[in-house]
Amino acid sequence: MERPKSLVLIRAKHLAESVTTPMFLADAGGNLIFFNEAAEAMLGRPFGDNGLLTPGEWQQTFDVRDRNDAPFALESMASWMQVQNEQPAMGHIKFRSADGTDHLVATCAFPLFTEQQRFEGALILFWRDAG
């Protein structure tokens, strides 16, 4: 597993490891650098099976789509642009777990910054969407 290189990402990883809310941790480039056990349960695979994934790789690996089943890449998502511009973002995505089950989830992403206000990445929480 790729170890986060900044103190901000290390602390965010520790937070994700200590809660039961599914969470992704992405670096400033949108690379998926960690997901917690709760996320592993929904995805049907441990983080160690994948390791670091680029935005395109995690879109393809988890078949990430919008509510209407249209595929999209993280780089083009308005919510990611919002996070990079120091704004939290909420949305809905679908993904396919390892067993082939589709999951519609609500997401909340918030930016992570150093004390010098350098954007380091984002912590992305998600939960099953009832609607």
In this predicted structure, the answer to whether residue 78 has a pLDDT above a threshold of 80 is no
Can you give the pTM of this predicted structure?
0.85
Residues 89 and 80 sit within 8 Å (Cβ to Cβ) = yes
Domains identified in the chain and CATH numbers: 7-128 (3.30.450.20)
Position with higher pLDDT, 108 vs 131: 108
Q: What is the mean pLDDT of residues 75-86?
A: 66
pLDDT in the model for residue 130: 66
pLDDT-based confidence at 8, cuts 50/70/90?
Answer: very high
Record the tokens describing residue 117, joined without a space: 């206000």
| CB-CB neighbours of 59 under 10 Å | 23
∠ CA 22-82-128, nearest 5°, is 25
